[in-house]
Amino acid sequence: MSTPRGPHKPISPDSFSSRVAQWNELLQKASFVSECFSTSMDRPQKGDVVYCDPPYTHSQSIIYGSQNFDINLLWEKIAECKLRGAKVILSINGTRESQKKDISIAPPSGLFERKLMIDCGTSMIDRLQNSGKSMNGEKVNDQLLLTW
């Protein structure tokens, strides 16, 4: 669980154990690597699907501190994947404060074919910063961008 507090209720040890057992079975043939996204995105080919969930530009410094993320490099890598025939899905910041504040980032023209807005409820950052306060009117919508 990535959110240390908020509306999430902890699961019981028995439920957690059951979930771990299910995931263990499902992931027997999976492999995991720890590497820069730009290296990972050099591999996808035609028919592959890539899901990108980068640091959101609006809250990057709040969550990641001094870490630096280059959104322009991500745009380049998405374009390369698209040219090779891989399909790319990107989730990135959209609107907050119930669509009153546009925090979206515009990708290069022609990179994505579709854009969907996803209702995310309230953000983790807002819940942490406003602990104990009312969160009315604080709905967040993320952009989901697809290259096909």
pLDDT of 50 reads 97
**Residue 43 scores a pLDDT above 90:** yes
Work out whether strand 87-96 and strand 49-52 pair parallel, antiparallel, or are unpaired: parallel
Token pair of 73, please? 């490099």
Domain boundaries, the chain: 36-146
Q: What is the largest CA-CA distance in the chain?
A: 49
Q: Which residues contact 9 (CB under 8 A, 6 or more apart)?
A: none
Convert the pLDDT of each residue in 72-117 to its tens digit: 999 999 999 999 999 999 998 876 654 566 666 889 999 999 999 8
DSSP letter assigned to residue 120: E
Q: Residues near 4 by Cβ (< 8 Å), separated by ≥ 6?
A: 128
Between CA 90 and CA 13 the distance in angstroms is 34
Sign of CA dihedral 4, 8, 12, 17: negative
25-63: b (≥16 Cβ within 10 Å) or e: eeeeeeeeeeeeeeeebeebeeeeebebebbbebbbeee
Q: Residue 48: which residues within 8 A CB-CB, separation 6 or more?
A: 81, 86, 87
Global pTM? 0.71
Residue with tokens 């902890």: 10
User: Residue 69's pLDDT is what?
Assistant: 78
